[in-house]
Structure 1
Amino acid sequence: MIKIRHAFLAALLPAVLAGCGVASGAAEVKVLRYQGSAGAVTFPELAEELGYLGDVKLKWVGNTTSGPQDIQSAATGQTDFGGAFDGAIVKLKAAKAPIKAVIGYYGSDKDTFSGYYVNENSPIKTARDLIGKKIGVNTLGAHHEAVIKEYLKRQGLTPDEIKQVQLVVIPPVNTEQAVRQGRLDVGTLGGVLKDKALERGGLRPLFTDVDLLGPFTAGSVVLREDFIAGNPATVKTFVSGFAKAVEWAQTRPRAEVVATFERIIAKRGRNESADTVRFWKSTGIAGKGGVIAAKEFQTWIDWLEREGEIKPGQVKAADLYTNAFNPYAGGSAS
């Protein structure tokens, strides 16, 4: 995920606001363009494989480079849906992008989470020990920066003290080595990279995002508001199928989910490895079928207001999402 630049948003919004939707009276869109992820299976792809999408088809247009890039593509009409960290959605909505989150798609739980790791002999034991230290993150202005600053705040550091904790952007594949070599004091690790690092030993967690926040959905998939208005039947089919795929993965044996992911990757023929999905443990999604909770946005609204990224009251959680199309929410809107 990359930080959303206000200058870029200012340039793209006129195109967004001009409208990218379906003309009045036109037939609904039934082929949805999307970006995937190399070596991974998205829930819409899983839904398609399981036969949950009915007459709606997916059209892969390439792989995304980040969450914010993915939702920007959806906002500008380059794709029909995209997903990102909820804080990035808040920022894009604050910039007047006409988007609406419709379902959660990733998060943290006891099996799937991100941790902030130090060498086992590191003198860093508490948040206060981080003053003047370096923490490696994959990017600024996204999930990990938000979690780290929330941790520091909850541990009693003042805004001036928090500013003294340096966040260093580093590719995730280089984080473990940088921590072991002492070039970073703390490194952010998740997924396969975390599992492999911990297998090698010598690292301990300072804290984890799930310890800090409890199980939570961290990111959502968005659609343009005009697309929702112009294609209600398609959106209902898409979100319902998506939700059923999430619930399927939440309740099926891990081996069955992994085998299905491997089958999907093999069938789609994108010249990619399925090695990563073999480490899959859980969806990380808190709500059944990806149902969104208001607190999952409010946490990051509060953070962005404290950071001065948005004005107090500029964005309301209720305006950011809807559960109206998710069958596990009983069809209730946000």
Structure 2
Amino acid sequence: MKPIHWTLGSSVLVATLALAAPGLGQDQTLSPQDPYHIVLGTIPIAPLIPAFIAVDQGYFLEEGLEVELRPEPGGQDIVTAVVAQEFDFGFSNQTSLLIARSRGLPIRAIANGVVGSPDVESAWDGVIVPADSEIETPQDLIGKVVSVNTLNNTPHLVVLSALENAGIEDPASQIQFLEVQFPDAVGAVSQRQVDAAWVVEPFVTVGSFSDTRVIMNPLIETGESFLMSVYFTSEQLIEERPDVVAAFTRAINRAMQYATENPEAVRQAFPRFNQSASEAVAEQMALPFWTTELSPSDLELGAELALRYGFIEQIPDLEAFVYSGSD
């Protein structure tokens, strides 16, 4: 297994691999002895733990891949990097990808990334407010400032949907949304820079250590096991190296299956994936839900909501967007 080195990012420690020289030819056979170097765009949140596990457990290497995990603030940045061929693969929320695809950008979803919980009790996201805030219900957010990590995106979308489902008509006109990155959101709430923030784990738990509380769980309130994010790549890589795409997909699905079956291993791995997360946070946080299945129908609700809220002008061909490896 290749050694893992840690380099300091702006707010997290980011895993990178000891890199082999890039530039293997298209006819290069994938081999653990001479692995093909790829870059995967990531975000320092709990849903990405399987990607770290796939590196740490050698799943990628067994497939003949040497993977560099490259951090970005959000899904939109990763989409841009994949389209620009700076990254080979990415992890992004589905709305960023639907926006890109609706604009004709050459990207395709290749594997499920993470889904919302099947019930409120196991939710791994939440809108947090200060513990002593007067805000108790979604209706109390009217006239307030709520942060999401990316505007006009799945985080923004699920909060709007949950607010509508709570009976608030046209929430976009009654609530001010502000873009604040996940690592800064808890502090923004604690310091009263925003009235509330939508966050995912580990930041829900980090917030509980900083005197915040959850008032709603937008993912489950949008839909049971709502598809949050997927892994994706460029059409060019699919055309030129379908073997690399297939190898990546096998490895990440294997890692997601392992994460689902070994929750304690996930908790132990997380502080090494994101060293800004303590062992105490990792032990208490709610774990995301992973699945190795992805179909065009999984994107239908998100696409309809993106159209409803004006994030896209038309729904792209979902069948053509999801790459199954056989087309």
Q: Normalising by the residue count of structure 2, what TM-score does the alignment of the two structures yield?
A: 0.75
Q: Deviations over 1:77-120 (max 9, x none)?
A: 11211110000000011111111101122333254522112345
Match of 2:202, SS state, is helix
- Are the aligned partners of 2:190 and 2:211 in contact in 1 as well (CA < 8 Å)? no
Q: Give unmatched runs, 5+ long, in structure 1.
A: 1-21, 266-271, 326-331
Match of 1:256 among 257, 261, 265: 265
Report the equivalent of 2:89.
81
2:289 is the alignment partner of 1:285: yes
- Are the aligned partners of 2:115 and 2:227 in contact in 1 as well (CA < 8 Å)? yes
Report the equivalent of 1:137.
148
Match of 1:43 among 46, 50, 54: 50
Query: How many Å separate the matches in 2 of 1:245 and 1:221?
Result: 13
Query: How many Å separate the matches in 1 of 2:265 and 2:140?
Result: 44
- Are the aligned partners of 1:131 and 1:162 in contact in 2 as well (CA < 8 Å)? no
Match of 1:101, SS state, is strand
Compared CA separation, residues 303 and 47, structure 1 to 2 (3 A):
same
Match of 2:257 among 244, 247, 250: 247
Match of 2:39 among 30, 33, 39: 33
Match of 1:136, SS state, is strand
Compared CA separation, residues 42 and 176, structure 1 to 2 (3 A):
closer
Compared CA separation, residues 300 and 273, structure 1 to 2 (3 A):
same
Report the equivalent of 2:3.
none
- Are the aligned partners of 2:82 and 2:234 in contact in 1 as well (CA < 8 Å)? yes
- Are the aligned partners of 1:138 and 1:169 in contact in 2 as well (CA < 8 Å)? yes
Compared CA separation, residues 42 and 81, structure 1 to 2 (3 A):
farther
2:318 is the alignment partner of 1:317: yes
Q: Deviations over 1:240-282 (max 9, x none)?
A: 1110111001001x333344556x76xxxxxx73645764456
Q: Which amino acid letter does the alignment assign opposite residue 256 of structure 1? A: A
Match of 1:221, SS state, is strand
2:113 is the alignment partner of 1:105: yes
Report the equivalent of 1:184.
194
Match of 1:284, SS state, is coil
Compared CA separation, residues 139 and 202, structure 1 to 2 (3 A):
closer
Report the equivalent of 2:20.
none
Q: Give unmatched runs, 5+ long, in structure 2.
A: 1-23, 31-35
RMSD: 3.3
Compared CA separation, residues 51 and 198, structure 1 to 2 (3 A):
closer
Query: How many Å separate the matches in 1 of 2:217 and 2:269?
Result: 33
Report the equivalent of 1:8.
none
Report the equivalent of 2:303.
301
- Are the aligned partners of 2:128 and 2:204 in contact in 1 as well (CA < 8 Å)? no
Report the equivalent of 2:163.
152
Structure 1 residue 226 displacement after superposition? 2.6
Report the equivalent of 2:11.
none
Report the equivalent of 1:117.
128
2:198 is the alignment partner of 1:196: no
Structure 1 residue 308 displacement after superposition? 2.5
- Are the aligned partners of 1:93 and 1:99 in contact in 2 as well (CA < 8 Å)? yes
- Are the aligned partners of 2:227 and 2:299 in contact in 1 as well (CA < 8 Å)? no
How many aligned residue pairs are there? 293
Identical amino acids, percent of aligned pairs = 16
Report the equivalent of 2:215.
205
Query: How many Å separate the matches in 1 of 2:44 and 2:222?
Result: 30
Q: Which amino acid letter does the alignment assign opposite residue 289 of structure 2? A: I
Q: Normalising by the residue count of structure 1, what TM-score does the alignment of the two structures yield?
A: 0.74
